[in-house]
Amino acid sequence: MILAWRNHPDIRRFMFNQHVIEMDEHRNWFEKTLNDPTRRLLIVEDRNEPFGYVQFSNVVSGGVSDWGFYVRPDAPKGNGRKLGITALNYAFSILDLHKVCGQAIANNKASISFHLRLGFAEEGMLREHHCNNGEYHSLICFGLLKYEWQPSLNFQESIDDKNSNCW
């Protein structure tokens, strides 16, 4: 399921590595990641229906972690908000992180806007830092501190916390 989502053209075009991932590569990545105690791979679901994927790296209590995420390609509008809020609630309450960091390729306006709407601060730009298909792209860096995390009321109203989970 995750491999199919990740390889979908609407997801893949915004990834740092945009090639189609074959099953062997996926299995190797999964096995390596499962053996890393500082990584968390999460499926986000609503009413037992998976709709997104989130990963956190460098996870230690009170630590600083990088996150990555995507919503199922055919997920209904609004699931991005659910994913973000559910994952950040998990990060700050269950994982007890101090800070969550993210990066977006500078031309990924949706991801940049998403981070800002969730309360992340833009912390800088890495100019022409990442190469995709022979073309260099700048990365926008974001950070959100635990004490800054307060989902707005309009986000909370769109989520029934009893039905959105990270597993």
Residue 157: per-residue pLDDT: 41
Q: Is the pLDDT of residue 163 over 60?
A: no
Q: Classify residue 21: in a domain, yes or no.
A: yes
In this prediction, residue 159 carries a pLDDT of 43
Cα(71)–Cα(63) distance, rounded to whole angstroms?
Answer: 25
Tally the domains of the chain: 1
Evaluate if residue 133 carries a pLDDT over 60.
yes
User: What pLDDT is attached to residue 164?
Assistant: 57
Q: Which residues partner with 112 through β-bridges? A: none
pTM of the predicted model as reported, rounded to 2 decimal places: 0.86
pLDDT-derived band at 12, boundaries 50, 70, 90:
confident
Its domain, for residue 106, covers 2-160
Q: What are the DSSP E strand ranges found in the chain?
A: 40-46, 49-57, 64-71, 99-105, 121-132, 135-145, 164-166
| CATH number of the domain that residue 40 is part of | 3.40.630.30
Integer Cα distance of 23 and 154 in angstroms: 40
pLDDT tens sequence across 93-132: 999 999 999 999 998 998 999 999 999 999 999 999 988 8
Confirm whether 26 is domain-assigned: yes
Specify if 166 maps to a domain: no
Give the model's pLDDT for residue 166.
53
- Where does the pLDDT of residue 153 fall: very low under 50, low under 70, confident under 90, or very high at 90 and above? very low
In a domain, 165, yes or no: no
Domain annotation covers residue 167 = no
The string of pLDDT tens digits covering residues 44-93 is 998 899 999 999 999 999 999 999 999 999 998 889 999 999 999 999 99
List Cβ neighbours of 26 (8 Å cut-off, separation of 6 or more): 2, 3, 6
Domain assignment of residue 16, yes or no: yes
Alpha carbon distances (Å) from 50 to 7, 31, 34, 98:
17, 21, 20, 27
Structural domain contains residue 134: yes
Question: What is the per-residue pLDDT for 156?
Answer: 44
Residue 134: predicted pLDDT: 85
